[in-house]
Amino acid sequence: MRLRYAGRCRACGIELPAGTTAVYDRATKTVACLECTTEPEQVEIATREPEALVDADVSPHSEPQPAPQPTDEPDVVVGAAGASAQREYERRKDKRETGIREAHPHLGGLILALSYDPQSTKAWAVGARGEELLGQRLNGLAARGIRVLHDRRIPPAKANIDHIAVGPSGVFVIDAKRYRGRPSRRVEGGLFRPRTEKLMVGSRDCTKLVDGVHKQLDRVRSALERAGLADVPVRGMLCFVEADWPLMGSAFTISELYVLWPRKAVEYLVKPGPLGEGTVQRVHRVLAAAFPPA
């Protein structure tokens, strides 16, 4: 069955958001993920909160209905790349327009026509487009065994993960950026000072992006550990879309993160690895449940 309300697997404790295919136990009024289900059980369609699930189509005197059979791959909401960033851009844009029209009832339209959104607002639209472009490329890898998730929320915070890709070589947490300038690594310090690495994009210090991806990696690893998948490799990527990369390319690593462009990212994603198709599917489902669409 597909849950209409969120629940928690009674066996492994993983969060099961609304829309997840799971099994409902009528006797205990609990749900279980498909990975933890070993025996056929009676199921019901979730039309209320998990404590009071009711099958709207079954009466006490009706013929018993066969339990739905689990499929090899339950439906997973992949998500829309850049959706939350685009919503934030539209929210800021609408707020600015409303404020100007209310402050200047007669000249608001003219002011809007002759002015531009502030950079802090336009940055959300630029970022959304970068995520969308990378998402389109990642979606094209399905035939090569790569399963993806886009624009995932990190509960309970408002932060999100741009892309998660799962393939034979493991899990990749990908942060998409659409910045101008050439990404590079600057090493400072040495003999008499601590050695530090900085991520530069043109002349801007963007090292904080590295810290952000590491926080996302920690959350993904924790989710896999809770599901008994601690051995699955997890790596991070900073993928700069439409940046000023040299013709011969110069991908690099910083603090164990790959810094690269979309085509180079694909090369890493499709490499062979130790995970079979069944494990890839399971990891994909676990992460889809742990990090719902933003």
- Residue 54 pLDDT exceeds 60: no
In a domain? residue 100: no
* 175 and 65 assigned to the same domain: no
Residue among 71, 81, 79, 80 at smallest CA distance from 2: 71
Range of the domain at 37: 1-75
* 150 and 273 assigned to the same domain: yes
* 149 and 59 assigned to the same domain: no
pLDDT at 27: 62
* 146 and 245 assigned to the same domain: yes
Amino acid letter, residue 286: V
Instruction: Please report which residue ranges of 145-276 form alpha helices under DSSP H.
Output: 208-226, 262-269
Token readout for 117 is 């959104």
Token readout for 81 is 């790349």
The distance from CA 146 to its chain's CA centroid, rounded to whole angstroms, is 14
* 44 and 173 assigned to the same domain: no
* 47 and 165 assigned to the same domain: no
Q: Could you say which DSSP state residue 87 is in? A: H
Q: Report the distance separating Cα 187 and Cα 72, nearest Å.
A: 48
* 24 and 139 assigned to the same domain: no
In a domain? residue 82: no
Of 75, 105, 121, the one marking the end of a domain is 75
Cα three-residue angle 151-157-158, rounded to 5 degrees: 50
In a domain? residue 121: no
- Within 13 Å and on the Cβ side, how many CA atoms surround 182? 9
In a domain? residue 226: yes
Q: Is the pTM of this model over 0.85?
A: no
Q: Report the distance separating Cα 129 and Cα 227, nearest Å.
A: 33
Name every residue whose Cβ is closer than 8 Å to that of residue 72 and which is 6 or more positions away in sequence.
281
pLDDT at 269: 96
Phi and psi torsions of 184, nearest 5° = -155, 165
For 11, 23, 45, 58, 110, the CA distances from 29, given in Å and listed in that order, are 13, 10, 12, 16, 60
In a domain? residue 109: no
Residues 177-221: tens digit of each pLDDT? 999 899 999 988 777 788 889 999 999 999 999 999 999 999 999
How many independent structural domains does the chain possess?
2
* 69 and 135 assigned to the same domain: no
Of 57, 75, 93, the one marking the end of a domain is 75
* DSSP-derived pairing of the beta strands 234-240 and 170-177: parallel
In a domain? residue 106: no
* 139 and 259 assigned to the same domain: yes
45 and 31 Cβ atoms separated by less than 8 Å:
no
* 141 and 235 assigned to the same domain: yes
In a domain? residue 110: no
Q: Report the distance separating Cα 119 and Cα 130, nearest Å.
A: 16
Q: Could you say which DSSP state residue 255 is in? A: T
Per-residue confidence at 63, pLDDT binned at 50, 70, 90? very low
Residues 114-124: tens digit of each pLDDT? 788 888 888 88
- Residue 44 pLDDT exceeds 50: no
234 and 221 Cβ atoms separated by less than 8 Å:
yes
Averaged pLDDT for residues 120-145: 90
Q: Report the distance separating Cα 232 and Cα 92, nearest Å.
A: 39
pLDDT at 30: 79
For 195, other C-beta atoms within 10 Å of its C-beta total: 9
In a domain? residue 107: no
Cα three-residue angle 232-235-239, rounded to 5 degrees: 145
Phi and psi torsions of 121, nearest 5° = -85, -45
174 and 265 Cβ atoms separated by less than 8 Å:
yes
Quote the percentage of the chain above a pLDDT of 90: 48
Of 56, 75, 94, the one marking the end of a domain is 75
* 69 and 142 assigned to the same domain: no
Q: Report the distance separating Cα 11 and Cα 280, nearest Å.
A: 21
Which of the two residues, 155 and 164, has the higher pLDDT score?
Answer: 164
* 145 and 243 assigned to the same domain: yes
